[in-house]
Structure 1
Amino acid sequence: MSALFSFHLDQGGSVVVELPEPPGVSRASSWKERVVEDTRLSFEKALANVRDAASAALAQFQEMSRRPDEVELKFGVKLDAKAGAVIAQTGLEGQFEVTLRWQATPDDTATTGLGPRAPGERG
């Protein structure tokens, strides 16, 4: 069973999110009688910790000796009425996927004697 929770938006309004009810909580109402509960959290504040985690991860990749041209971070975000937003887990481990991309530069071609690689080509 799930419940509806309202996360307020800092600029006004709100967003309603369907979340699973905590274990041991049972409601006698039907889905037609569901009430939207106030979380006392703003949506932005709920996502702030996840944003900070993404920023910290990005900073680590930007400190590499050869910075990637592109960094793609993917992770699932789970909303919780009390904890806000958390990085969702898959199985027993947290879900976090990182993709780094480098584009060949003229300097790379000159030092290796090879041209740019096609996507998926190994050198």
Structure 2
Amino acid sequence: MNRKQIAEFSLEDGTKFLAEVDEPENSNALTRVARSDTGQMVVEAKKKFDEVLDQIQPVASAIITKLSQMNTPADEVEVKFGIKLNAAAGAIFTSVSGEANYEITLKWKQDKA
């Protein structure tokens, strides 16, 4: 079972927030810092959170691009995928339910003519 730890992520504007993450196998590569408000030891994430989101954007764009190229494009598209934060690697896609990494729902509305 993976051990959990608290990682501190930063936004581009300098805002910091904490997230519970799985402890990586090589935790020696991470910088441990103490939070002044709690004194709790946390690890400093290697990437800014905005950079983590940059890993997700191309995947979402590729899905939307392919689905919009259908012969009869859907009126609504919903894509669900799980993201696991990792202090060293950033974002890792995880399963939403069962073995599927992506759950895609397409909806077409009937013509009301």
Query: In structure 2, which of residues 44, 50, 53 is the aligned counterpart of residue 44 of structure 1?
Result: 50
Give the % identical residues: 31
Report the count of equivalent residues: 101
Contact 1:3 1:34 in 2 (8 A): no
Unaligned runs of 5+ in 2: 28-37
Contact 1:87 1:94 in 2 (8 A): no
Give the aligned partner of residue 35 of structure 1. 41
Runs of 4+ in structure 1 off by over 2 angstroms are 22-25, 89-94
* CA distance in 2: counterparts of 1:89 and 1:98, whole angstroms: 13
Structure with the larger RCO, 1 or 2 (CA within 8 Å, 6+ apart): 2
* CA distance in 1: counterparts of 2:50 and 2:94, whole angstroms: 17
Q: TM-score, normalised by structure 2?
A: 0.76
**Rg larger in structure:** 1
Give the aligned partner of residue 87 of structure 2. 81
Unaligned runs of 5+ in 1: 26-31, 108-123
Cα drift, residue 36 of structure 1: 1.7
Contact 2:81 2:103 in 1 (8 A): yes
**Normalized per residue, which structure has more helix?**
1
